[in-house]
Structure 1
Amino acid sequence: MGLTRVPGLLFGGDYNPEQWPEEVWAEDVALMVEAGVNMATVAVFSWSRLEPRRGEYDFGWLDRVLDLLHANGIAADLATATATPPPWLVREHPEVMPVTADGVRLEFGSRQGYCPSSPVFKEHVVRLATTMAERYKDHPALALWHIGNEYADHTLECFCPESAAHFRRWLARRYDGVEGLNAAWGTSCWGQHYTDLAQVEPPRTAPGPVNPAQVLDWRRFCSDALLELFEAEKAVLRAVTPGVKVTTNFMSILHGLDYWKWAAAEDLVSDDAYPDPADPASHVAVALSYDLMRSLKRQPWLLLESAPSAVSWREVNAPKPPGMMRLHSLQALAHGSDGVMFFQWRQAKYGPEKFHSALLPHGGTETRVWKETLALGADLGRLAEVAGAHSPAEVALVLDWDSWWGLEAPESMPSNRLKLKELLLAWYAPLHARGIAVDLAPPGRDLSEYKLVIAPNLYMAGPELTAYEGELVVGPFSGVVDESDRVRDGGAPGPLRDLLGVSVEEWWPLPDGTAQETSLGTARTWAEWVRPEGATPLAHYRGGDLDGLPAVTRKGRATYLSCLLDDVTPVLDDVLTRAGVTGVEVPAGVEAVRRGGYLFLLNHTNEAVRVALPYPGTDLLTQTGMHGEVELAARDAIVLKEIR
């Protein structure tokens, strides 16, 4: 079975019929059929329309929408409508609204306004989800349940008394009493010793820097608190509709939520992705996030939101030029998505997203975007056989949310210039340029299937990587602290010390505008004073206070970089050769991705290029045979099925 009961690739988008007169609905669905749409996401922000007053429901309009969709062969990704509470709930219970770290309770008037720990909000959420599940459990349009929407987009945390009590309950489960917490948080520093858990509060605004261990646990708690909300709804849906899969839409590589934990709670992973058309390198960063989505459950996933053209929330909302909607859609498929969904179907007339593009624009069916919508639907029909295909990767990047939260603590670090997404991209970009498939993995996963594992940073590294027997690369500032943010005995790299054969004597963060040369290139952000303990230097620092000291070392199968090089290519080329990993040779700006028996070649440049095919095959998009060297037009693509 695929992602849902709908065969082939999913195509459609968010449909908000409540924003339009009912006489428009028939036109909408007729145009969906014309475009090849087979799924619509409905009711995401509809709570106030479905339950206009406490306990009084109006499902008639949604019944008619679902009936209309089903009658035209269109399935529903049906939301439980709990993404935003209705005004009556907020006015009856103002305590459901979130409170900032400064003690300000936020007001109603946007979306996602709720305290994740509010028992009142949770009670009403579960009640609505139960009512929705009971009403639509047998509706033939129902193909997927959609809980919430973009968790942690607007509301990641709340600092109200209810959240504080929830935090204390979470801490009580994590630690063996108050003394366990004192030991973990190091409260003997700055006179913070607690004698009762009741004295603990969230890390609200304080006179000076807040205990980083407390902030770390708060980050963990906030992710878990929102996950509890999700799981409360999922339990209802699972009980009433056990055969219908459940998802919630992720937001690519999001700092606030531990997606390894969240994905384990989902039936399928879905993502919202909005690469910036004005950024010529945005396709690389979004490819990294797509590879994360595929890696979270190690199976196909679903692009649940993307933009046909411009978005509405950047300072400058550049449109996608002709061909880019198609190209970006094919890129998602290449990286494992079993469909392409958009926000939204019909462009809104009012509200904060009225200038956000849609498959059906303000200008109607005579527009460029609508014509591209029709063409994309036809392309997805030709690619239906790609659904479910999967290719194993030989390279893995290690991503650990605890390390990320600790690394980017707001205060007390040697440098606040170390950003985990940038560290990941520094390695991912040259792998991507070589057409080498990459998985992402948590440090505790069995990594034995990979020939090469790269950990750009593991600030909070444990001993997990020591069991890996393949080619390993570890980046700087790794193995520094334990799971409670306490510095490791003996210093970095802590439990990786014997594996890497080095010890770090001193951090050497580089001030803005300065650089440290090495024999393999330039570092501008970070360096370290390293002492070899069995490792062989592969590169040395040149000039400055670190002159002559090791910059890159190797012991056995493990390479350690003590600095952030502008270009990691020399190190990467070496370890790829050692690991026996090869990619697909393509011109700059062309992306090559294998998915099962299909090779996607995507030209992200504005010029035509010549590409040498690695084998003869059939382009599924044009149904033509190809071999040798072919021309790939600007923003065009080939999906090559190998001839066997």
Structure 2
Amino acid sequence: MPDLSDVTRGRLLYGGDYNPEQWPEEVWPEDVRLMKEAGVNSVTLGVFSWSKLEPRPGERDFGWLDRLMDLMHDSGVGVVLATPTASPPPWMGHLHPDTLPRDAEGRTEWWGGRQHFSHSSAVYRRYAAAITEDLAARYAGHPALTLWHINNEYCTYDFGDEAAARFRSWLRHRYGTLDALNTAWGTAFWSQGYGDWAEVLPPRHAHYLKNPTQVLDFKRFTSDMLLECYTAERDIVRRHTPHLPVTTNFMPLWAGQDAWRWAEEEDVVSVDLYPDPRDPLGAQSGALVQDMTRSQARGPWMLMEQAAGAVNWRRVNRPKPRGLNRLWSLQAVARGADAVCYFQWRQSRQGAEKFHSGMVGHAGEQGRTYQEVKRLGADLARIAPHVSGGRITADVAVLHDWHSWWAGDQEARPSHEVDYPRVLSAWHRALWQAGLTTDFAHPGHDLSGYRLVVVPQLYLLTDAAVDSLLAYVRGGGTLVCGFLTGVADQDDRVRPGGMDARLRELFGIRTLHEWWPLEPGETADCEGGLRGTLWSEELEPDGTADETVPYEGGELDGLPAVLRKGRAWYVSTLPEPEALRALLTRVATGAGVRPALDGLPDGVEAVRRGDLLFLLNHDREPVTVDVPGTHHDLLTEATVTDRITLGRYGAAVLKP
């Protein structure tokens, strides 16, 4: 199959969503001039153009797109052509109300926004296939076309009648019989036993708590239905252009898609990334998404969207300070991106996103945003021949699984303060601040190539996943698990003892007596100054642990907060940030894992990609970094010997 290297060919793609149908055609030549000045070599066309391409059912208007494709080719700009199926025209919902999704309370989601389609609607799928077929047939041989982009940010749920019928079909395929479904869902509780498939519905609005496994399966079903929509369109464009790669854009750490499974169906894995510029940990948030996307791609990936300045959907929308856009873009390249793109090229003057920034903002080419875009384009052109296609090697894997997230995020759980993304981010942050480059992995992946495997929290673990963790430790790997791991099986059935018995033996735990969630702001003191937050557990050790860190004071006084048995660690609380960083640094050092560069000042990130060392200063103040030896800074063409000073939000890309 083709991949991103077939598009980049030693370059870094640079550009973004281009929506010229929002502007008079006289503006297009000006767009091209500014693109060339900024070093833009790729644009995405057609993402939200369905009503323009098909103004009435079955009618086609391709003339404007023909002219754009020709203009881009003549200007040396490649086109990522999108299928426009994320936003159906108003006529579709008007003529076919069954194509509109319904929420859990039965309310219809009408046209007037976007993503107003039912993934299960046969009518929607028929229209989507038709417009995709005609696009692919018309532009398959166009020299500007470099890559296909299917739909946009798949994120719809549907609880309507057609989705209910598809849900029942999906469940029949999964379970075969109603007896098997009743067993998996535990319907003996609350008299929920099903005697006819027609009785089975999506988890619609209920008087009280919903069946957790029904909710879990509905999330699995939704991910699968959306994936069917994607693969149907992908297969159409592949038939016309088997030599071109196909992608769709993930949203960062979004709960609605099993992105491990989706990534297997993509030629190029791409993501949209919008850290909050006001967040002091925005860079770490970005690094987490970048590491996860690279791991899904198993190599270079595509930053499909970011903001050149402010977004429009937070309560307070601050622009990026001077230099931050460049820094975060280079961070993405450091962590494996071979494409740096934006939503969008020219900031809209009308519509719901007119206050969302563009590469060319309302201030025009003299504005700071465009001037910084130009500088970044020049930077990317300088480093591209040295970095494009380069790989990143990590000795640490962080395990993550959407099914575990879905199962743990239920209505009735021990603590609603335990938020899975928050826990995952806390553990990744500790590794990031320790300078340790990490991959992400599914618990079923081959883990043998990693020195250290970290499990922040995997509430649901299949038997196969448990076996994989045990085999990893037996093979000489070091494992660190956080609290609430291994509690439930694949049907969200609590395992005997509240934790898988094999894991309890692995960590040296005889009995897990009780979970002790903590109130907001409450802490649990532990020996050696470690302080836990969010959670604690009443554990009785079996006497085989080589090391324990006990709780001090309170109901759990003297009981282990942390246990180590051989190379397996269990942490029954969420240590405060510095304590977690110190713990993971110690464990990593014992496992033979080293940071990319020793002795980094606070706020400086170091990442190695191939033979290049990226240094990123996330501070507003200049900082000096020791870099033993002689290097060539690709960004400045300067020779660097033993140390380098990075300015405010400064960066260096050092080649030996």
SS in structure 2 at match of 1:547? coil
1:353 partnered with 2:361: no
Cα distance in structure 1, aligned partners of 2:405 and 2:547: 28
In structure 1, the residue matched to 2:506 is: 499
In structure 1, the residue matched to 2:545 is: 535
Q: 1:512 aligns with which of 503, 510, 520?
A: 520
**Structure 2 spans left out of the alignment, 5+ residues:** none
Cα distance in structure 2, aligned partners of 1:167 and 1:40: 38
Report how far residue 311 of structure 1 moved.
0.8
CA contact (8 A) 2:102 2:108 kept: yes
Cα distance in structure 2, aligned partners of 1:272 and 1:23: 30
SS in structure 1 at match of 2:575? coil
SS in structure 2 at match of 1:133? helix
RMSD of Structure 2 on Structure 1 (CA): 1.2
1:623 partnered with 2:633: no
1:374 partnered with 2:374: yes
1:467 partnered with 2:471: yes
Q: 1:78 aligns with which of 78, 81, 85?
A: 81
Deviations 1:416-460 (A, max 9, x none): 122222222222112212321100000000000000000011111
Deviations 1:43-71 (A, max 9, x none): 00000000001111000000000000000
Deviations 1:176-227 (A, max 9, x none): 2100000001100000011122210000010110010111111111111111
| 2:589 aligned partner, one-letter code | T
Cα distance in structure 2, aligned partners of 1:609 and 1:513: 34
Report how far residue 570 of structure 1 moved.
3.4
In structure 1, the residue matched to 2:610 is: 596
Report how far residue 516 of structure 1 moved.
1.5
1:606 partnered with 2:620: yes
CA contact (8 A) 1:461 1:495 kept: no
In structure 1, the residue matched to 2:585 is: 573
Write out aligned runs for 1:405-424 (5 A): 405-409=406-410, 411-424=411-424
In structure 2, the residue matched to 1:582 is: 594
Is the alpha carbon distance of 1:615 and 1:621 closer, same or farther for their aligned partners in structure 2, counting shifts above 3 Å?
Answer: same
Report how far residue 513 of structure 1 moved.
3.5
CA contact (8 A) 1:2 1:387 kept: no
Cα distance in structure 1, aligned partners of 2:52 and 2:37: 29
CA contact (8 A) 1:167 1:202 kept: yes
Cα distance in structure 1, aligned partners of 2:241 and 2:4: 18
Q: 2:132 aligns with which of 129, 134, 137?
A: 129
Report how far residue 246 of structure 1 moved.
0.4
SS in structure 1 at match of 2:446? coil
| 1:104 aligned partner, one-letter code | R
1:395 partnered with 2:396: yes
Cα distance in structure 2, aligned partners of 1:98 and 1:166: 13
SS in structure 1 at match of 2:365? helix
CA contact (8 A) 2:4 2:267 kept: no
CA contact (8 A) 1:434 1:586 kept: no
SS in structure 2 at match of 1:58? coil
Cα distance in structure 1, aligned partners of 2:301 and 2:629: 28
1:633 partnered with 2:634: no
Cα distance in structure 2, aligned partners of 1:256 and 1:495: 31
Cα distance in structure 2, aligned partners of 1:121 and 1:286: 35
Relative to structure 2, which stretch is displaced further, 41-50 or 531-540? 531-540
CA contact (8 A) 1:479 1:495 kept: no
SS in structure 2 at match of 1:332? helix
In structure 1, the residue matched to 2:571 is: 561
Cα distance in structure 2, aligned partners of 1:496 and 1:614: 43
Q: TM-score, normalised by structure 2?
A: 0.96
Relative to structure 2, which stretch is displaced further, 250-259 or 504-513? 504-513
Report how far residue 281 of structure 1 moved.
1.1
1:322 partnered with 2:322: yes
CA contact (8 A) 2:433 2:581 kept: no
Name the % identity: 50
Cα distance in structure 1, aligned partners of 2:547 and 2:413: 27
| 1:366 aligned partner, one-letter code | Q
In structure 1, the residue matched to 2:161 is: 161
Report how far residue 348 of structure 1 moved.
0.7
Q: TM-score, normalised by structure 1?
A: 0.97
Relative to structure 2, which stretch is displaced further, 54-63 or 191-200? 191-200
Report how far residue 635 of structure 1 moved.
0.6
Cα distance in structure 2, aligned partners of 1:337 and 1:512: 38
In structure 2, the residue matched to 1:277 is: 277
SS in structure 2 at match of 1:568? helix
Cα distance in structure 1, aligned partners of 2:393 and 2:298: 9
In structure 2, the residue matched to 1:89 is: 92
Deviations 1:475-505 (A, max 9, x none): 1111111000001123314442222221312
In structure 1, the residue matched to 2:495 is: 488
In structure 2, the residue matched to 1:196 is: 196
Report how far residue 235 of structure 1 moved.
1.1
CA contact (8 A) 2:4 2:245 kept: no
CA contact (8 A) 2:628 2:643 kept: no
Cα distance in structure 1, aligned partners of 2:346 and 2:285: 28
Q: 2:556 aligns with which of 546, 551, 562?
A: 546
Cα distance in structure 2, aligned partners of 1:343 and 1:387: 22
Report how far residue 33 of structure 1 moved.
1.2
Is the alpha carbon distance of 1:68 and 1:421 closer, same or farther for their aligned partners in structure 2, counting shifts above 3 Å?
Answer: same
Aligned length: 638
Deviations 1:563-590 (A, max 9, x none): 1111313321321121011112311111
Cα distance in structure 2, aligned partners of 1:37 and 1:392: 29
**Structure 1 spans left out of the alignment, 5+ residues:** none
Report how far residue 304 of structure 1 moved.
0.8
| 2:534 aligned partner, one-letter code | T
